[in-house]
């Protein structure tokens, strides 16, 4: 099934209409704040969908915190993708700037084909299926997952990486440090590692993608 997901605000009927004309779809999903379903724009689009024998799936995205918004949109993209069974296409031209930017970030995380449809149609350079996880080797992902939200001691972490050798585990730590994913601090004569904000973002993306594959 082809799913068209679009960010949406109360004055964005024309943008979404343009997307509906340009991109083939079987199901239309609109993402916006909780006032959207009461708007004339939403009613107009829903009437059109009803004529075609469908209704719009509306998803609320709470817009208080940017990263929560990114997580929320990621979850919506992931759920409607149904573990790769559906072909999801995203349009980010509707709704607030914050919502559009959050949707763009979520699309990069999950490798979702994305457009910015206004008067012009721009296909964004996001490769379908190329996710944030692809940047990392499996050992790097494993280490990121092991650190998680904890603050483990370096030595314990290296031991926990078995059957990888001490040298390979140390190399993975160095690589991730160089990429700005890890932060280290010395406490009680021991080196503790934690994920930097970027590392935590990678962890969130990896968890989403892993969960998506497991479903």
Radius of gyration of the chain, Cα coordinates, nearest whole angstrom: 21
Asked if residues 118 and 142 have their Cβ atoms less than 8 Å apart, the reply is: no
Q: Is 154 in the site for another protein (CB under 8 A)?
A: no
Q: Tell me, rounded to whole angstroms, the distance of Cα 176 from its chain centroid.
A: 21
Q: Is 62 in the site for another protein (CB under 8 A)?
A: no
Q: Is 201 in the site for another protein (CB under 8 A)?
A: yes
Cα separation of 99 and 29, whole Å?
15
Q: Closest distance between another protein and the C-beta of residue 202, in Å?
A: 7
Q: Is 125 in the site for another protein (CB under 8 A)?
A: yes
Binding piece for another protein, criterion CB under 8 A, among 113-121, 139-147, 167-175, 183-191: 113-121
Q: How many CB atoms lie within 10 A of CB 155?
A: 11
Asked if residues 73 and 106 have their Cβ atoms less than 8 Å apart, the reply is: yes
Q: Please say which residue, 103 or 161, places its beta carbon nearer to another protein.
A: 103
What is the token pair recorded at 28? 């239309």
Residues 40-59 that bind another protein (CB under 8 A): none
What is the token pair recorded at 31? 């993402």
Q: Please say which residue, 97 or 187, places its beta carbon nearer to another protein.
A: 97
Q: Which of 119, 138, 162, 163 binds another protein (CB under 8 A)?
A: 119
Residues that bind another protein (rule: CB under 8 A) add up to a total of 36
Q: Closest distance between another protein and the C-beta of residue 39, in Å?
A: 18
Q: Closest distance between another protein and the C-beta of residue 117, in Å?
A: 10
What is the token pair recorded at 137? 């080797």
Binding piece for another protein, criterion CB under 8 A, among 28-36, 41-49, 158-166, 196-204: 196-204
Q: Is 97 in the site for another protein (CB under 8 A)?
A: yes
Residues pairing with 59 in the sheet:
31
Binding piece for another protein, criterion CB under 8 A, among 32-40, 54-62, 128-136, 143-151: 128-136
Any idea which residue has 């932060």 for tokens?
183
What is the token pair recorded at 107? 């699309």
Q: Please say which residue, 34 or 134, places its beta carbon nearer to another protein.
A: 134
Any idea which residue has 């790097």 for tokens?
140
Asked if residues 48 and 55 have their Cβ atoms less than 8 Å apart, the reply is: no
Asked if residues 118 and 93 have their Cβ atoms less than 8 Å apart, the reply is: yes
Residues lying near another protein in the complex (CB under 8 A) are found at 66-67, 92-93, 97-98, 100-101, 104-105, 108-109, 113, 116, 118-120, 122-130, 132, 134-135, 196-198, 200-202, 205
């Amino acid at each position: 099934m082809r799913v068209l997901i679009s960010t949406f605000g109360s004055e964005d009927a024309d943008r979404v209409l343009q997307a509906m004309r340009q991109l083939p779809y079987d199901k239309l999903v609109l993402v916006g704040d909780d006032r959207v379903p009461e708007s004339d724009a939403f009613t107009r689009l829903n009437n059109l969908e009803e004529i075609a024998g469908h209704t719009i799936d509306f998803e609320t995205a709470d817009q208080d915190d940017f990263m929560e918004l990114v997580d929320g949109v990621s979850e919506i993209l992931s759920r409607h993708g149904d573990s790769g069974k559906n072909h999801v296409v995203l349009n980010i031209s509707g709704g607030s700037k914050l919502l559009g930017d959050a949707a763009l970030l979520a699309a990069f995380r999950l490798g979702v084909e994305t457009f910015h449809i206004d008067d012009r149609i721009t296909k964004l350079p996001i490769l379908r299926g190329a996710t944030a996880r692809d940047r990392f080797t499996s050992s790097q992902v494993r280490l990121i997952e092991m650190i998680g939200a904890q603050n483990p001691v370096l030595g314990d972490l290296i031991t926990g990486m078995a059957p990888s050798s001490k040298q390979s585990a140390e190399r993975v730590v160095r690589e991730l440090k160089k990429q700005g994913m890890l932060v280290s601090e010395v406490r009680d004569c021991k080196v503790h590692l934690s994920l930097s904000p970027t590392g935590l973002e990678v962890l969130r993306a990896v968890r989403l993608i892993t969960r998506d594959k497991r479903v």
